[in-house]
Amino acid sequence: MDGAWSVYLVRCADGTLYTGITNDVPRRVDSHNQGKGARYTRARLPVVLVYQALVGSRADASRREAAIKRLARSAKLALVRAG
């Protein structure tokens, strides 16, 4: 699956949003929910996938992730609603 990278957002149990990248979204969300994901999500389980977008290369995914992380919460929620 090399080259098929995605950026994703999950909603944590406390209502916060977490943004990440992966080349296997279902596996990554499952990892989060098993407590093996990011430290941020481990304390906020369970998580639910609310947005994902195929972006191409890992570098493209990293750039898109950084751009999303800079957005205000309201803009992230708008992205979720649109996507």
Q: How confident is the model at residue 1 (pLDDT cuts 50, 70, 90)?
A: very low
Output the 3-class SS for the chain: CCCCEEEEEEECCCCCEEEEEECCHHHHHHHHHCCCCCHHHHCCCCCEEEEEEEEECHHHHHHHHHHHHHCCHHHHHHHHHHC
Domain that holds residue 55: 5-82
Tens of pLDDT along 21-67? 999 999 999 999 999 989 999 999 999 999 999 998 999 999 999 99
Residue 2 confidence (pLDDT) above 70:
no
Residue 3 is predicted with a pLDDT of 62
CATH at residue 64: 3.40.1440.10
Residue 83 is predicted with a pLDDT of 83
Question: pTM for the whole thing?
Answer: 0.93
Count: domains in the chain: 1
